[in-house]
Amino acid sequence: MPPTAAEYAARQEIPVAQVQSRAPRPTIVGPDTLEQPFPIYLVGPVQKGFGRGGKDLGCPTANLPDDSITPISSVAKTGVYYGYAQVLPPQDHLSDFHNADLKVLPMVMSLGWNPFYKNKVLTAEIHIMHNFKSDFYGYEMRAVVLGYIRPELDYISREALIEDIEIDKQVALNCLQRPAYQIYANDSHFQIPESEFKASM
């Protein structure tokens, strides 16, 4: 079994990424039912990252603090994952959000060092597949990671990275259509009082 992301970080070692190839990619990955170590639950306040996701890649991401990613970094290798996520604004900021912004939404997540940008620290960057109208730095984000898509790769161009990110999104959506995965959109990890949804409408 390859080292976990946390084991690499503890050794202060960055894994060598494969060079991205143009081989056709599958449109769905993994088994029809969850296998260990999934599901993996994450929760923490969204913090500012490098600001590259939305600006450079058209794929804005939310970063979780280091201590919030231990549940996945301690059991999983680096790579791209999929699952569901939800942003929970504080009560006094609910009016900034539409009802759709509060829902449990599909996400893709990168765990690792992002070889294309040569990061020096381990990060977990979550892209929620939804067009939020406002930033949510500092707000609580909850996520459940349900499966693995692919390893971290190095890219010869930004365009090649963007192309793979778009494929990652579609693969995640396809994978989440399976009944054993769909049920996690209603997991108790995400439940919030109905009154909060009403207050935002």
Residue 94: partners with Cβ closer than 8 Å, 6 or more residues away = 102, 196, 199, 200
Q: How far is CA 122 from CA 3, 13, 65, in A?
A: 14, 10, 10
For the segment 65-120, what is each residue's pLDDT rounded down to a tens digit? 889 999 999 999 999 999 999 999 888 888 878 888 999 999 999 998 875 556 66
Q: Output 14 or 127, whichever has higher pLDDT.
A: 127
SS (H, E, C) 73-94: HCCCCCEEEEEEEEEECCHHHH
Based on the residue annotation, tell me whether 125 is a catalytic residue of this protein: yes
For the segment 120-170, what is each residue's pLDDT rounded down to a tens digit? 688 889 999 998 877 888 899 999 999 999 998 877 677 877 888 899 999
- Confidence grade of residue 200 (pLDDT, cut at 50, 70, 90): very low
- Confidence grade of residue 49 (pLDDT, cut at 50, 70, 90): low
Catalytic entry in 125, 140, 152, 163 = 125
Burial class (CB in 10 A: 0-12, 13-18, 19+), 141: buried
